[in-house]
Structure 1
């Protein structure tokens, strides 16, 4: 198969291939603000200002990331408490007089369902790409800025067994684009940086972060500005486009 031989040739220099998860291999079934409002309504908290909820989500997430970086990894907060506090801050922002008992129910429910397939869907082409990379006899892993519950999400979505390892920023103690998180799997598998490839959706964290660590990288994003910033054979609007390129083009690393 010509495409397969080109695919193998494009990946021949790599012994390790890692993936980001959110918006790379999996995505939310619906925007978090919509899911938050839906869950709240199901638990009896209605009349939520949706645009305000969306803004509060963005603002409070930034605040929590600044106050307690890496999902509380360096603080007294557990990752679970980090998410619970985030949800509570968001709903206090939207409905200052919200019933505290209801709020606890909402936060607990949201934390639970976001670790299941209720809130996630597969991005088209993800399973094929993972299978092809595994068939090429590479070490395959995950490098994700997330908390340890990502393992459960991947199991729920039936792709955990596609990976040799899953490295979350919480467990690593470093977040992308810090090169330290990219160094961990190199040491684990005895791989040199120029033998490693990372695939993700974020220009700064994934594409540049990996390259600054000495890796090769590919970007999968619909952001037109980022598509133009990356080298032309390194950036694609979808996994399907990426797979087609690996099958038909000579990628210049």
Structure 2
């Protein structure tokens, strides 16, 4: 069968296709620990350990998420912008207790801007081609991401925002994937039934299972052996390119 015909056959049941962003369509140019250390060095704070920063990032992200869920959405104390500033402040206070608050805040502000531009991201191979082909087949294409409103700026700076009809972040929705509510809003907005919707993401529980629990179909992109074994074989792929090829060459049972 012609590759395009097979692609259409696999997807023509869907009126809505949504994507996660990080590690699905875009990825970090460098790990946060490296980016944070490089940015600090460019501002005169040199010789910081990227591995230590990376570990502290994980710790502080968990702490902030517990204290101010969904980037502080329901908090009267903090905005989503301040959420990130405080996260970075906490990391650098622990990295080097000799840094002044002025130094730390300058680094935080620089990083905040960098992570809302194209400076910290790269396209995952084949993403633009896949988005174009899906756009030609389905009616609505969008984003459902556990992130903050700054994602809009990132997508614009990476020149793909115009490829989506909508971008829903967890901050916008008030819930995070895998909560079914994260998948309900676009169905209501565009009058689409769950059986006509497909979600593509990189996390087994949050993307693959979350969507299926909401009645959607879903595809998973992961290199995790454990997660690969959990999903249906024709639903999981090691890369976006591999998934795109499968959509064009095999019958996928949803």
TM-score by length of 1: 0.98
Could you tell me whether the CA contact under 8 Å between 2:17 and 2:138 is conserved in 1? Answer: no
Could you tell me whether the CA contact under 8 Å between 2:116 and 2:154 is conserved in 1? Answer: yes
Pairs within 5 Å for 1:29-68: 29-68=29-68
SS of 2:251's equivalent?
Answer: coil
CA–CA distance in structure 1, aligned partners of residues 189 and 53 of structure 2: 42
Instruction: Find the counterpart in structure 2 of residue 213 from structure 1.
Output: 214
Q: How far does the alpha carbon of each residue in 1:24-62 deviate from its partner, in whole angstroms, 9 at most, with x for none?
A: 000010001100000011111122123221111110011
CA–CA distance in structure 2, aligned partners of residues 138 and 242 of structure 1: 20
Instruction: Find the counterpart in structure 2 of residue 91 from structure 1.
Output: 92
Deviating 4+ runs (over 4 angstroms): none
Instruction: Find the counterpart in structure 1 of residue 169 from structure 2.
Output: 168
SS of 1:62's equivalent?
Answer: helix
Q: How far does the alpha carbon of each residue in 1:172-230 deviate from its partner, in whole angstroms, 9 at most, with x for none?
A: 11110110010000000111111100000000100000001110000011112111111
SS of 2:234's equivalent?
Answer: helix
Could you tell me whether the CA contact under 8 Å between 2:36 and 2:50 is conserved in 1? Answer: no
Instruction: Find the counterpart in structure 2 of residue 190 from structure 1.
Output: 191
Q: Give 5+ residue unaligned stretches, structure 2.
A: none
CA–CA distance in structure 2, aligned partners of residues 126 and 3 of structure 1: 17
Could you tell me whether the CA contact under 8 Å between 2:200 and 2:220 is conserved in 1? Answer: yes
How far 1:97 sits from its partner (Å)? 2.4
Instruction: Find the counterpart in structure 1 of residue 248 from structure 2.
Output: 247
CA–CA distance in structure 2, aligned partners of residues 78 and 5 of structure 1: 48
Instruction: Find the counterpart in structure 2 of residue 225 from structure 1.
Output: 226
Q: Give 5+ residue unaligned stretches, structure 1.
A: none
Instruction: Find the counterpart in structure 2 of residue 3 from structure 1.
Output: 3
Instruction: Find the counterpart in structure 2 of residue 199 from structure 1.
Output: 200
Instruction: Find the counterpart in structure 2 of residue 79 from structure 1.
Output: 80
CA–CA distance in structure 1, aligned partners of residues 176 and 145 of structure 2: 8
SS of 1:98's equivalent?
Answer: coil
SS of 2:218's equivalent?
Answer: strand
Q: How far does the alpha carbon of each residue in 1:116-165 deviate from its partner, in whole angstroms, 9 at most, with x for none?
A: 11111000010011000001132000000000010110000000010000
Instruction: Find the counterpart in structure 2 of residue 103 from structure 1.
Output: 104
CA–CA distance in structure 1, aligned partners of residues 118 and 32 of structure 2: 14
CA–CA distance in structure 1, aligned partners of residues 138 and 213 of structure 2: 25
Could you tell me whether the CA contact under 8 Å between 2:93 and 2:99 is conserved in 1? Answer: yes
SS of 2:118's equivalent?
Answer: coil
